[in-house]
Amino acid sequence: MHSFVRFSLLASSALIAAPALAATDDGAAAAPAVQQSPSSVGTGATDESEEILVTARRRQETSQAVPLAISVVGGEHIDNTGAFNVGRLQQLTPTLQFYTSNPRNSAANIRGLGAPFGLTNDGIEQGVGIYVDDVYYSRAASSTFDFLDVAQIEVLRGPQGTLYGKNTTAGAINITSRQPSFDFQGRAEVTIGNLAFKQAKAAVSGPLSSTLAARVAVSATSRKGTLFNVTTGNWINEQDNLGLRAQLLWRPGDAIDVTLAGDYSVQDPECCAQIYVRTGATQRALNRQYAALAAAQGYAVPSTNPFDRITDVDADLNAGNTIGGVSLRVKWDTGPGTLTSITAWRFWDWKPANDRDFTGLPITTKSNNPSQQHQYTHELRYSQSGEHFDFVAGLFGFHQTVRTQGVQEQGAAASRWLLNPSSALAANPAVLNHLTANNDIRLDNTSVAAFGQVSVKLTDALTIQPGVRINYDKKKGLYSSVVTGTASDGTRQPVLFSGPYSTDPWIVAQRGVLAPQRFEPQFSAWNFSYDLNVSYKLARDVLAYAAYARTFKSGGINLNGVPSDAAGNPLLAAGTVRPEALDHFELGIKTQLWDRKATFNLSAFRTDIRDFQALVTNGQLGVLRGYLANAEKVRSQGIEWDLSIRPSKRFNAYVNGTWTDATYRRFVDAPCPPELSGGGAGTPAAAPGVPGNSPANCDISGQRLPGVSKWSFSFGAEANTPVSLLGKDGELYAGVDGNTRTAFSSNPSPSAYTWVPGYTLTNLRLGFRTAGGLNIYGWVRNAFGVDYFEQLAVPSGNTGLIVGSPGDPRTWGGTIKIEF
């Protein structure tokens, strides 16, 4: 735990960029000087005539001039609403979904697409790219850290493969940090709240010489956990984050900017438990379902109401992880255009401890996958704008190494819980006690690409924008699981499929729980992406566009284990996963009305995917985690709209919404939901709760993708009035922000047991601010104390247990900011 006094000096987002930085063709080096306007997500105190500047097309332009669906959230609104990480950002952008059971097992989806729903597999790519100052963050764990000194965030909806690369089939999150300035400036922000919440952010920026400027920022957050563990007496699922960022800007002349940036963030919370939610009948024999298994050991959970927020998990918990890196960005104004070079190294060190039986029984006493990851990237691009055309062209290189040392160990209660109760072995705790799998998992991932995009202005109103990208990927992996158990003679022996002890009854039973396996998958392929965008200005403030994209998500390799044959040999065909191929169609219109006091943007989209990468299980307990396979066809289609009004500087409001229909169009060999699983394979399942055989696979064609609500909305408003308080002239303001989503499935194959009911969350704030930079306000999040789940999950073994992650309860607090 980090316990120290936290103080902050954050520079104003409207003051960061020096004039020379703001006036660039390539937006990579310049933080937009304005965050809030009628076309942005959220509310703020800026003048209604200001415009949003974005870098979605790798050059700086107004958001309403960009012919694609984009949500822009300013740094001020992020701070004011407490949306300090991607998980909370989704409450402001309804088309973005974020799911996490711990930092490693996190995923961001846009329009229902992105990463497979479930546990992370190192050998697969994300579908939503995360970029910070043009640097690609390959691991979704970065999205669980606090935003650090952010000027604004752009959520780009739909495929962005031409400019952003192979891992943006669903969209991209483009984060721009505040840049060093040649004027001394800063801001201080301190927040306290219930649940012992403390947060501070700090940054200071200014000149070191006439050609050198620096910026240093810090952010720290801590909060007591929201669940009480009666076994340890601790509050768990807490928050504990510390982040540092430093930048140096060297400007030897008007034509060249060189920025060296480094960041380091660490988390060390006691986290992350999922707790008992309910049970449901499966196809297992009744004596192998949850109620009978718990009764056999005299076990009962401390509460069957998950919103009592009580658990008794008995294994160690930790979500310790460290992330950081260094980047060097060189930007050269050549006269006709701008040449930009970005070189970066990043690392992520993951040190987890989990309770994967989700009970107070010592069934699985260890289930940890500590991992060390390094990535190296370089991008070189040239952009140029002219009277009749704009273009961007570039090269990109990426190399990543991942080294994971996994361990799973069974405990004294495992025999009774995991083995057939009719067997005498189930009554002997020693059979599975200390059964241990040690896993060596490795990935070497290399990718290179060349890309280009040109905007041809055929008339003052009509623009055609084609783009292409050619990409090469190569992945090499290793999965090696060495299992050690106790033989019937009491000696420790390797668990093998052949050898002196391979027929020992204890070893045979142990192989059914943790099976040894080793394979070395490889994948390589060239892929070609292209898109075409046609836009037409119907009037000064009305832009219509149509877009088509043919893109892909890179193929992958399974690094969580794969099914085995009867002799224990891994099925190597399951070791690789084919690339996803996407065809995307979109129509949209972007408008500003009433002298730009109102903005209304509307888009309709359809994405057809072949070989969708889905998480599946094969029913073998010996496969430690689900593995990835290809579903034949998936489709996501829908309508999105963004409406904001600012009739005066005293009031502004917004309502954003989306209707999304995301379904498996053809997936005939999907894993069955729990109510149809667990009774053996080969014949149709009986009704849930009636033991019998169940099918090896299920046809879920036409059913909903996990994690996707049919309807989702975000909304907000802020009003202010001039007052004098504390001897200062300023504004008294009140604001509300919220989001609504309908029910969604929380299992890869929809199950009656894992539908998360819809909910609405409402956040309120009331404060006083001055033109001199003082801002004092109180806030309430989840103001009406809504009980809701972030997600539900089906543990392995198919006992009928359903666990989940309750969302945050009502929280409240106060914030003080000062600018100078």
Q: How far is it, in rounded angstroms, from Cα 655 to Cα 712? A: 11
CA distance 820 to 772: 8
Picking from 92-101, 364-373, 648-657, which range would have the lowest pLDDT averaged per residue? 92-101
CA distances from 380 to 373, 396, 450, 467 (A): 24, 7, 10, 17
Q: Tell me the per-residue pLDDT of 274-299, one tens digit each, with 9 for 90 and over.
A: 999 999 999 999 999 999 999 999 99
- Residue 52 binned pLDDT confidence (cut-offs 50, 70, 90): confident
Kindly indicate the confidence band of residue 568, based on its pLDDT and cuts at 50, 70 and 90: confident
Q: Give the lowest-confidence range in 27-31, 102-106, 150-154, 721-725.
A: 27-31
What pLDDT is stored for residue 221 in this prediction?
Answer: 95
Q: Specify the higher pLDDT residue, 28 or 330.
A: 330
Token pair in block for residue 66: 């960009």
Contact 171, 5 (CB under 8 A): no
Q: Say what the pLDDT of residue 62 is.
A: 87
58 vs 515 pLDDT, higher one: 515
pLDDT of residue 140: 75
Looking at residue 288, its pLDDT comes to: 94
Tell me what pLDDT residue 45 has.
39
State pLDDT tens for residues 142-158.
777 888 889 999 999 99
pLDDT band at 680 (very low <50, low <70, confident <90, very high): low
Average pLDDT over residues 725-752: 94
- pLDDT tens digits along 766-800: 999 999 999 999 999 999 999 999 999 999 888 99
Q: Average of pLDDT values for 303-318?
A: 97
What pLDDT, on a 0 to 100 scale, did the predictor assign at position 50?
A: 60
Token look-up 């963030």 returns 265
Residue 453 has pLDDT above 90, yes or no: yes
Q: Which helix (H) or strand (E) holds 511?
A: helix 505-511
Q: State the pLDDT at residue 247.
A: 98
DSSP notation for 85-103: SHHHHTTT-TTEEEEESSS
Q: What value does the mean pLDDT take over residues 362-387?
A: 95
Residue predicted with more confidence, 632 or 11 = 632
State the DSSP string of 16-45.
-S-HHHHS-SSGGG---S---STTSBS--S
Least confident of 167-181, 401-415, 424-438: 167-181
Cα–Cα distance for residue pair 50/485, rounded to 1 Å: 68
Q: Sheet harboring 227-229: ordered strands across?
A: 234-236, 227-229, 310-311
> What pLDDT band is residue 581 in, cutting at 50, 70 and 90?
very high
* pLDDT reported for residue 493: 96
Q: How much is the pLDDT for 395?
A: 97
Name every residue whose Cβ is closer than 8 Å to that of residue 194 and which is 6 or more positions away in sequence: 811, 812, 813
For 380, what's the count of Cα atoms within 13 Å in the CB-facing half-sphere? 4
Residue 684 has pLDDT above 70, yes or no: no
Mapped to the 3 state alphabet, what secondary structure does 763-816 carry? EEEEEEECCCCCEEEEEEECCCCCCCEEEEECCCCCCCEEEEEECCCCEEEEEE
Strands of 171-177's sheet in order across? 70-74, 150-157, 171-177, 128-132, 135-137
564-568: long-range pairs with CB below 8 Å, 24+:
564/515, 564/517, 564/620, 564/622, 567/497, 568/497, 568/511, 568/515, 568/516, 568/517
The pLDDT of residue 69 is above 70:
yes
CA distance linking residue 670 with residue 664, whole number of Å = 10
CA 481 to chain CA centroid, Å, is: 28
Q: How far is CA 86 from CA 73, 82, 92, 151, 584, in A?
A: 12, 11, 10, 15, 25
pLDDT at 690 over 50: no
Are 641 and 601 in contact by the 8 Å Cβ rule? The answer is yes
Looking at residue 561, what is its pLDDT?
84
C-alpha dist (Å) from residue 707 to 26, 117, 159, 273: 36, 8, 19, 20
H or E segment to which residue 162 belongs:
helix 161-164
Residues 382-405: what's their mean pLDDT?
Answer: 95
pLDDT for the residue numbered 49? 45
Q: How confident is the model at residue 217 (pLDDT cuts 50, 70, 90)?
A: very high
Query: What mean pLDDT comes out for the span 256-275?
Result: 96
User: What are the tens digits of pLDDT across the range 112-128?
Assistant: 998 877 667 888 888 89
Q: How many CB atoms lie under 10 A from the CB of residue 514?
A: 25
**609-647 tens-digit pLDDT:** 999 998 765 544 443 346 778 899 999 999 999 999 999
Asked whether the bond before 272 is cis by omega within 30 degrees of 0, the reply is yes
What dihedral angle (degrees, nearest 10) is formed by the CA atoms of 58, 62, 64, 69?
30
- List of residues 6+ apart from 3 with CB closer than 8 A: 222
Contact between 598 and 488 under an 8 Å Cβ cutoff? The reply is: no
What pLDDT score does 591 carry? 97
Q: How confident is the model at residue 694 (pLDDT cuts 50, 70, 90)?
A: low
Question: What mean pLDDT comes out for the span 28-49?
Answer: 40
Would the pLDDT of 19 be above 90? no
Residue 31 predicted with pLDDT over 60: no
> What pLDDT, on a 0 to 100 scale, did the predictor assign at position 791?
93
CB contact at 8 A, 557 and 522: yes
Q: What per-residue confidence (pLDDT) applies to 727?
A: 87
Q: Is the pTM of this model over 0.95?
A: no
pLDDT score recorded for residue 459: 96
Pairing of strands 310-311, 364-368: unpaired
User: What is the band of 313 on the pLDDT scale with cuts at 50, 70, 90?
Assistant: very high
The single-letter code of the amino acid at 468 is V
Structure confidence at residue 396 (pLDDT): 97
pLDDT, tens digit, for every residue of 412-448? Answer: 999 999 999 999 999 999 999 999 999 999 999 999 9
- State the average pLDDT for the chain: 88
Burial string for 389-426 (b: 16+ CB within 10 Å, else e) reads ebbbbbebebbbebbbebebbbbebbbbbbbeeeeebb
Please tell me the distance from the alpha carbon of residue 668 to that of residue 671, in angstroms, as a whole number.
Answer: 9
